[in-house]
Structure 1
């Protein structure tokens, strides 16, 4: 199982690094490249550079609130049983 853990860890690290490099290039470098350059075809419009992280953050916050609420309800039900 140790080898599988290393492979999964490597893949997660590689995916994270790829996303970081793509997003960094998209947000920091791409605005300085001419708009008719072919490289713009590989990226979404600039407004998505803000919308995607905002929606991901809101979804994460909603999931976290639902999870905490579920745990609190389970904890309350467990206290009533004892």
Structure 2
């Protein structure tokens, strides 16, 4: 089981590092690259650099709120 946990941890770390690198390059370095350069073909427009994290954050907060509400309702039923 320890080997599987290490493999999962490695995969999650690799995914997180690649997303962080992509986003950092997109936000920090890409504005200094000429607009006609081929590297711009691999990235979404800059407006999405703000919209995607906001959308993901709102969605995550909604799921957390629903989970907390469900847990509170379930615990209330146990007491009654």
Task: Calculate the TM-score normalised by the size of structure 2.
Answer: 0.98
Partner of 1:50: 50
> Shift in Å at residue 64 of structure 1?
0.6
SS in 1 for 2:51: helix
- How many residues are treated as equivalent by the alignment? 80
The 1-side partners of 2:38 and 2:21 are apart by: 19
What is the root-mean-square deviation in Å for CA atoms of aligned residues?
0.5
Task: Calculate the TM-score normalised by the size of structure 1.
Answer: 0.95
Partner of 2:78: 78
The reply to whether residue 9 of structure 1 matches residue 9 of structure 2 is yes
Unaligned runs of 5+ in 2: none
Q: Which whole-Å deviations, capped at 9, do the CAs of 1:37-69 have from their partners, x for residues lacking one?
A: 000000000000000000000000100110010
